[in-house]
Amino acid sequence: MTITSHKKNVIFYLIDGARPDVMLKLIEQGQLPNIQHELYSKGSFTKGVTCFPSTTGPAYLPFLTGYYPVDHDITGIRWFDKDTYFSKNRWDRNAMRSYCGYEAKYFNADMDPQKPSLFEQYDRSFNIYNMITKGVKEGHDLTRKGKTGLYFKAHFYHEHHPVDKAGHERLMESIEMNPQFVFAVFPSVDWDSHTYHFEDDHTKESYKIADNSLGKVINRLKEQGRYEDTLIIMASDHGLSATTHHLDLGNYFSKKGFRVLEYPKIWTINPNLAVFISGNSFASLSFLDQKETYFSADLKKNHGKVLDDFVQEDAIDFIVYRDNEHAYRIQNQNGEAVIRIEPQDLLTYRPEGADPLGLGALETPMDRDQSFKATYDSLYPDALYQIHQLMKSKRAGDVIINAAIGHDLRDYWEIPEHKGSHGSLHWEHMHVPILTNKKNLISKPVSTTYIHQVITEWLGKPE
């Protein structure tokens, strides 16, 4: 095959679960020499913000489509659709979903056809390990064969690193195939962080595998004479925090007398509460005693006592529910605050007895950029807009739950035990590294949706 060296192309490294602070520390220690010299020094670095819930799979959509998962009506790695549940029944295909099991195959079809993926838009796109394969051409899903076996061993025997090393080999092959766009997932930072700790030696080794891959990829691109035409982006979909305590939500609400519908226990007879967890630090609750989505007045009347007790649990940072059509209420153990939607979709935030987001009063209505800037370096980056856009979807449930750092929301079904979690709005989960090999290309704080725009600008708008 002849290589057309004039053609612009993009190599996207998705280092799943990489934290910007850990990456910077390793760079400072000289442990990631290729990332340090080729990206951090000669290119650009910024601390970006992912979407809420900050969970693998859905959080790839901003890069791939330029839209948040909820713009595809995908509200997490698991979701429950109250409308469909009541208007049809629980066995309807769109009543509920878990992308963790065999329903992962529905992910492509669940995406909004009006918001195509880069795979659909650029013919010579290649995929490595990404579960979202919508639009990948025949023969371009380079890990389609062998992935299942490697992932099985990774999960049950903690043999994580062979997966990334095999992925690197496929990435080297892709470079010989005249690619326009390569989306390469390196999953081991996430897996090691879940299994050990986000700064364990195993995890650091995973960062180094990605660094080693980058060096080899750049050398080969230089040999081919196409390095200048290649935009390399390295980013992650979420961070992770260390987990030492587990509160199993399903068990918790069962003990409170609820008949809980949750994955994988979806056969519960006559359920009255649906509990859906994503990334283990985010969950949504749907109360099944009312067909319509709950607003706060009825929610407090029917379930206020249960929820008031619930937010006193150490595992719970805060919960969010709809006050009315134009406001959301955030409640923690100290009290409540309100996010209000003003005309033109502007947002304000006002503590009412408590300040769960730690922002103080933000009374001047803010647009998208203003609310991003006001919260970027807070405990909960981009919290106002992320809550707003998530709660616009009924699939977010009646109540969303943000777990406290150190805790997660799933125990009983989790084998092996998780020592790391993500999914929440906390900065440890929301901040992601974004590096490129082009000087000053992305050096300001951005949302991960912005990466999609940078990629399409580099490649030229698709036909």
Sheet hosting strand 230-235, strand order edge to edge = 44-49, 431-436, 230-235, 9-15, 181-186, 125-128
Cis peptide before 416 (omega within 30 of 0): yes
Residue 50 CB, nearest approach to Zn ion (Å)? 9
The answer to whether the beta carbons of residues 12 and 181 sit under 8 Å apart is yes
Q: Which is nearer to Zn ion, 16 or 336 (CB)?
A: 16
**Chain centre to alpha carbon of residue 385:** 15
Residue 17 CB, nearest approach to Zn ion (Å)? 5
Give the ranges where 256-381 is alpha helix by DSSP (H).
Answer: 296-310, 368-375
Residue 61 CB, nearest approach to Zn ion (Å)? 12
Three-state secondary-structure class, residue 370: helix
Q: Which is nearer to Zn ion, 121 or 130 (CB)?
A: 130
Q: Which is nearer to Zn ion, 16 or 382 (CB)?
A: 16
Residue 99 CB, nearest approach to Zn ion (Å)? 12
Residue 198 CB, nearest approach to Zn ion (Å)? 12
Residue nearest to Zn ion (CB): 56
Q: Give the phi and the psi of residue 378 in degrees, each rounded to 5.
A: -90, -175
Nearest-10 crossing angle of helices 383-391, 368-375: 130
The rounded distance, in Å, linking the Cα atoms of 55 and 239 is: 9
Residue 207 CB, nearest approach to Zn ion (Å)? 14
Q: Which is nearer to Zn ion, 71 or 190 (CB)?
A: 190
Q: Which is nearer to Zn ion, 17 or 250 (CB)?
A: 17
Nearest-10 crossing angle of helices 201-224, 188-195: 180
Residue 290 CB, nearest approach to Zn ion (Å)? 34
The rounded distance, in Å, linking the Cα atoms of 327 and 431 is: 26
Amino acid at 18: A
DSSP state of 256: T
Q: Which is nearer to Zn ion, 56 or 143 (CB)?
A: 56
The answer to whether the beta carbons of residues 7 and 178 sit under 8 Å apart is yes
Q: Which is nearer to Zn ion, 397 or 423 (CB)?
A: 423
Q: Which is nearer to Zn ion, 179 or 420 (CB)?
A: 420
Q: Which is nearer to Zn ion, 16 or 398 (CB)?
A: 16
Q: Which is nearer to Zn ion, 16 or 262 (CB)?
A: 16
The rounded distance, in Å, linking the Cα atoms of 58 and 52 is: 9
Q: Which is nearer to Zn ion, 67 or 253 (CB)?
A: 67
Name the residues that contact Zn ion, by CB under 5 A.
16-17, 56, 190, 237
Residue 124 CB, nearest approach to Zn ion (Å)? 26
DSSP state of 53: S
Residue 189 CB, nearest approach to Zn ion (Å)? 9
User: Residue written as tokens 């990206």?
Assistant: 39
Q: Which of 391, 394, 351, 388 is nearest to 366 (CA)?
A: 388
Cis peptide before 113 (omega within 30 of 0): no
Residue 199 CB, nearest approach to Zn ion (Å)? 17
Q: Residue 79: which residues within 8 A CB-CB, separation 6 or more?
A: 96, 97, 276, 284, 395, 396
The rounded distance, in Å, linking the Cα atoms of 362 and 378 is: 13
The rounded distance, in Å, linking the Cα atoms of 249 and 236 is: 28
The answer to whether the beta carbons of residues 346 and 366 sit under 8 Å apart is yes
The rounded distance, in Å, linking the Cα atoms of 39 and 33 is: 10
Q: Which is nearer to Zn ion, 179 or 187 (CB)?
A: 187
Residue 14 CB, nearest approach to Zn ion (Å)? 8
